[in-house]
Amino acid sequence: MGKEFASAAARWCHLSGMPAKPEIVAICDVSEDVRSWFKANIPSIRLSTGDYREMLADRDVEAVYCAVPHNLHEQLYCDIIRAGKHLLGEKPFGIDKNANDAIMSCISEHPGVFVRCSSESPFFPAMQRLGQMIENKSFGQIIEVNSGFLHSSDLNTAKAINWKRMIKFNGEYGCLGDLGMHPCHMPFKAGWYPKNVRAILSNIVRERPGKDGKMVPCETWDNGTLLCETLDPVSGELFPMTIKTQRIAPGETNTWYFEVKGMRGCGRWSSRNPRRLEILEYSGGLQAWQQIDMGWEAAYPGITGGIFEFGFTDCIQQMWAAFIYELMEGKPKSRFAGCVTPDEVAYSHRLFTASLKSQCEGTTVEIGDRN
């Protein structure tokens, strides 16, 4: 993910009217190979180190993007914040709720440091349009919301184990910690916070080949489906919301989807067909879905003409534009053009922790009020 940011920063000229430009002056990775890639490709790098403390001591470093395994989030994020550097951290923002609580305390002790969590799918133009529809209350009373993030490469049982499949590095949340913030991003920005959850989690593949090819336990949850009763702050009514995170979803390479069904309108998008936005508007007459092919209509404008396609690397760059815009201007360009806030990611920990309890007890678990 660090390489993705480096590439987005290298083509910053793509964007127009940004209040600042990121310059990558220092990099840190324990792997010499990874550092070599950065040094070969990013000429602005002045410090390359395997010790992040050395990077934090560098006065030229104003902000840090930190993308490391989940067991390191608490220590590294807190050290970055204590060093007075702004932070874009990766999800899940702590391996578990205790780690996230510690990060949240550190953030509140350093109010001058700007902290956000990485999550990029809402920056696809169709998702931005759905966000505008939520802001304009175009859906009417909400009937149901479905949001998910699906992968399929774990269908291959010969795929070797890596840190994301080990509790020690990835955490007890399994697929929820690894994938879960993504499908929570749009609902939370909409103000749709689950009040309770019934979770069904499955560990489908229980062993995978280790480094030497011998089978080792694979203990993390592969797939999770959360059914949540959620309050719509506009109508004051409850509605069902499903959040799916699956590592074993046959045929799905990296599929984000988001669907809203309401009494006056419906909308849906999936990264399977990233241009395509589907909308149904209802005012008592025909109930017909329209299909709109969205072009390059980004929240942060750029040089690409509106007729061209928008892709994953654009969406990463838009997320970075959102981080830098809010850092400089003090607020995001619009509600859905902002990165995930620490409060939003902290709520995801409450949801995932309640989901583990729900799975363990086979019951619906209350999450409580947002505050």
Which positions lie near ligand NAD, rule CB under 6 A? Answer: 1, 28-31, 34, 52, 67-70, 72, 90-91, 118, 120, 178
Compute the least distance from the CB of residue 353 to ligand NAD, in Å.
17
Q: Is 345 helix (H, G, I), strand (E, B) or coil?
A: helix
Per the listing, tokens 């980004």 go with 298
Looking at the Cβ atoms of 134 and 345, the one nearer to ligand NAD is 345
Compute the least distance from the CB of residue 181 to ligand NAD, in Å.
8
Q: Which residues of 229-262 are buried (b: 16+ CB within 10 A; e: fewer)?
A: bbbbebeeeebebebbbbbbbeebeebbbbbbbb
Looking at the Cβ atoms of 61 and 142, the one nearer to ligand NAD is 61
Query: What is d(CA 135, CA 116) in angstroms, rounded to the nearest whole number?
Result: 22
Compute the least distance from the CB of residue 261 to ligand NAD, in Å.
27
Compute the least distance from the CB of residue 234 to ligand NAD, in Å.
29
Looking at the Cβ atoms of 69 and 191, the one nearer to ligand NAD is 69
Say if CB 347 and CB 369 are below 8 A apart. no
Looking at the Cβ atoms of 86 and 164, the one nearer to ligand NAD is 164
Per the listing, tokens 């009937």 go with 143
Looking at the Cβ atoms of 29 and 232, the one nearer to ligand NAD is 29
- Alpha helices by DSSP H, listed for the chain, are 2-10, 32-41, 52-56, 73-82, 97-109, 125-135, 167-170, 175-179, 181-189, 312-329, 342-361
361 contacts: CB under 8 Å, gap ≥ 6: none
Compute the least distance from the CB of residue 17 to ligand NAD, in Å.
25
